[in-house]
C-alpha cells in the first residue's frame, strides 16, 4: 500500500468539494429547521396579533385604554357605542 500524494490520491479540489458539500448540507438542514419552526409558530406582532391580521375597533379601544390614552368612563362609553348599546349615566 502506498501512502503518498502521487497519482490516484485525493487532490486539493477533492477536499474543497468535500468541505463545500458539508457546508451546503448543513445549510440546507438549518434552513429546513428554521422554516419548519416558522410554519409551526406563525409570527406575532407585539400586541399578539398575527402578522397581516387586521386590528378590530375593540382591540384598538383596548390598546388605547391600556396605554392610558382614555379613561375608564370613556372606554366603557365607546365600547357601548361599538357594541350598539349606548351606556347612559355615570354608573
90 plus 53 within the same structural domain: yes
Which helix (H) or strand (E) segment is 27 a member of?
A: helix 12-40
Domain assignment of residue 2, yes or no: no
37 plus 66 within the same structural domain: no
Domain assignment of residue 51, yes or no: yes
Give residue 28's pLDDT: 97
Q: Quote the distance between the C-alpha of residue 4 and its chain's center.
A: 53
At a CB cut-off of 8 Å and minimum separation 6, what does 38 contact?
A: none
Contact 83, 74 (CB under 8 A): no
51 plus 73 within the same structural domain: yes
* Tens of each residue's pLDDT in the chain, 91 residues: 555 555 666 677 888 999 999 999 999 999 999 999 888 876 666 656 566 667 888 889 999 999 999 999 999 999 999 888 765 555 4
Domain of 14? 7-41
Give residue 91's pLDDT: 47
Give residue 4's pLDDT: 58
55 plus 27 within the same structural domain: no
Cell 445549510 found at: 27
34 plus 53 within the same structural domain: no
Domain assignment of residue 26, yes or no: yes
Give residue 38's pLDDT: 85
Count of helix runs (H) and strand runs (E) in the chain: 3, 0
Amino acid at each position: 500500500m502506498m501512502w503518498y500524494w502521487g497519482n490516484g490520491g485525493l487532490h486539493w479540489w477533492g477536499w474543497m468539494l468535500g468541505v463545500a458539500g458539508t457546508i451546503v448540507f448543513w445549510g440546507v438542514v438549518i434552513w429546513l429547521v428554521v422554516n419548519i419552526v416558522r410554519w409551526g409558530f406563525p409570527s406575532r406582532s407585539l400586541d399578539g396579533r398575527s402578522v397581516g391580521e387586521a386590528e378590530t375597533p375593540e382591540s384598538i379601544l383596548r390598546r388605547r385604554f391600556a396605554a392610558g390614552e382614555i379613561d375608564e368612563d370613556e372606554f366603557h362609553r365607546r365600547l357601548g357605542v361599538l357594541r350598539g348599546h349606548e351606556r347612559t349615566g355615570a354608573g
